[in-house]
Structure 1
Amino acid sequence: MNVKELVLYEDNHLLALNKPAGVLVQGDATGDVSLFQLAKAYLKEKYHKPGNVYLGLVHRLDRVTSGVVVLARTSKAASRLSKALREGQVEKFYLAVVHGTPPKRGRAEDFLRWDARKRKAYVSSSGKPATLEWLVLKSSSSQSLLLVKPLTGRKHQIRAQLAARGHPIVGDFKYGSRKKIAGGRGILLHAWHLYLPHPTKKETIFLEAPVPGHWPGIFSPPPGEFASKKFAFGKNLD
């Protein structure tokens, strides 16, 4: 995998990559090479670093999910980004292709419980609060493209909450889909847009990860399409 081709943004403080579906963000028991390891090797080679390369992991994506991943190149950047995430200063927008046709717009408020043995999230009164909003962007006879904005950061949140409403993400067998993804790995969930405060500059930066090439053509928006829809969250669409 050529990490250079995945770079969305890079400066002395940040490295943002477009993670392919099927690639781990961080190493696990499988021993598979992770995006984190590849990114460290990329920086070490590019900048001819003789020793260890610092890289901070401030957020994650599921292995089966594609899209924007931001890594911190300094400990100061890692600390400030982690604080921004905790304080809700980072806005994330996902694209998801789901089975069926949900309401034109919706808000899901649940409690999610994480089962570590099954590695799956369940809607449960004993869980932690989880909230997301969605807008339907396109629909076919059997599937819909959603723009999803999570307002909390629970494991498998988007996958579990949409599935609980009868609209599992296409390709997500763990949560009820029965359709394989043609020509690709993972599921049709993509971390598309991200806004975050730069850790040293007094500005907000915008990151966009192009949709993977194996997505169905009808659900592959060109750059910028639907972007204005993001500002409809919290407002009346009718």
Structure 2
Amino acid sequence: MILACRLQVEEEEAGVRLDVYLARNLPENSRSYLQRLINEGYVQVGGRKVKPSYRVKSGEEIMVFLPPAEAPEVEPEPIPLEIIYEDEDLLVVNKPRGMVVHPGAGHKRGTLVNALLYHCRNLSGINGVLRPGIVHRLDKDTSGLLVVAKNDEAHLSLSAQLKERRVLKEYWALVYGEVKPAQGRIEAPIGRHPRHRQKMAVVAGGRPAVTRYEVVEYFPGYTLLKVQPETGRTHQIRVHLHYLGHPIVGDLKYGPARPHLGLEGQFLHAGVLGFTHPRTGEFLRFEAPLPPELERVLAKLRAHQADGPGSQPLQQEESVAAQPSSQRGQR
């Protein structure tokens, strides 16, 4: 085994579970991955193997070893794809809710990449064998439009457009509460959550992030929004709407423990995608309607709307910028 790192427990860290201790000191790794390393014997405390629940003691030496490298391999799978557009350079697909975009820990099969490789063997290789053709991503439970590059030239062009904010992206999001004003701009930096390393948050020193929103429809206790992210930070829309005080319905990572209207996963759909074609220079714009399971949620809300839409939405735009935690706090 190859030694990856050697750690010594400080006095203030004594009594912490081993998996928690490692997650704090090796934040680039997920806690579940570290638990697997511990269970498989790749972590030793004082030269012996222990369980993830072991409580570390002050002064103990912890050694973390690297497991043998696995040769990455992605199998093509005959998974149905909804292809909105395709030519020699790219595809635009409508990803369903519940599908992971590319293989990773715990998701080696059934991903969009597995389906793409079955449909089309010629994909851009810039992102390696696990993410061929993938220019941008959607979370597992976010449905909607993605563009996939078939060659490196198309990939580079599309990546540059994303970086320069020249790609049009519009999402539909159902959130808790009544969002006022009816149009707004959220400008707040996003970075890794200081305590929960698998989450993102609005934090001082985070990367700049801007999201615009517009109210589409009010319901008692809920608001349907059209959202345009101007930047592309991890979980940006989910984090910004949580920060605004209106988390997305069904979002178990950033939302509250409330009824989710029968949803599994967040009500977030990438409904509009626009970009300049890498070869022709033509601006292409695509739309994908809400999937049936999200339409059913809206139909349920409309059917139970007893008192009408209420007051007319305000039309002014408000900029919601990051403020000290003493003023806003972490919602």
Q: Letter of the aligned partner of 1:106 in structure 2? A: G
1:174, 1:191 → 2: CA distance?
19
- Partner Cα distance (1:119, 1:70) in 2: 26
Distance 1:125 1:10 in 2: 42
Displacement after TM superposition at 1:202 (Å): 1.9
- Alignment partner of 1:19 out of 70, 74, 95: 95
Q: Distance in 2 between matches of 1:218 and 1:115?
A: 31
Write the deviation string for residues 104-160 of structure 1: whole angstroms up to 9, x where unpaired.
Answer: 111101011124963211111121111111000001101111000001110011001
Contact 1:181/1:187, CA 8 A, preserved across alignment = no
1:20 deviation in Å?
Answer: 1.0
* Distance in 1 of aligned mates of 2:173 and 2:113: 24
Counterpart of 2:203 in structure 1 is: 124
Q: Cα offset for 1:55?
A: 4.2
Q: Which is richer in strand? A: 1
Residue 82 of structure 2 corresponds to residue 6 of structure 1: yes
The equivalences for 1:138-157 within 5 A come to 138-157=217-236
Change (3 A) 1:21 1:27: same
2:183 is equivalent to residue 109 of structure 1? no
Residue 43 (structure 1) shift: 1.7
TM-score (norm 1): 0.83
- CA-to-aligned-CA distance 1:75-125 (integer Å, 9 cap, x gap): 111111111111111110000000011111111010111249632111111
TM-score of the two chains, using structure 2 as the length reference = 0.60
Q: Equivalents in 2 of 1:211, 1:93: separation in Å? A: 12
Aligned counterpart for 1:65 among listed residues 142, 150, 159: 142
The CA deviation at 1:62 is: 1.0
Identity of aligned residues (%): 36
2:285 matched to which residue of 1? 206
Tell me the residue number matched to 1:193: 272
Further displaced range: 35-44 or 76-85: 35-44
Over aligned residues, Cα RMSD in angstroms?
A: 2.4
Q: CA deviation at 1:3?
A: 5.0
Give the aligned partner of residue 228 of structure 1.
Answer: none
Other structure's SS at 1:160 match: helix
Q: Distance in 1 between matches of 2:252 and 2:79?
A: 29
Distance 1:41 1:210 in 2: 25
Amino acid of the residue matched to residue 112 of structure 1? I
Distance in 2 of aligned mates of 1:164 and 1:82? 28
Note closer, same or farther for the CA distance 1:31–1:3 as it changes in structure 2 (3 Å cut): closer
Aligned 8 A contact 1:16 1:68 in 2: yes
Q: What's the CA shift for 1:58?
A: 0.7
The amino acid across from 2:186 in the alignment is A
Higher relative contact order (CA 8 A, sep 6+): 1
Q: 1:217 Cα shift? A: 4.0
Verify the 8 A CA contact 2:86 2:92 in the aligned structure 1: yes
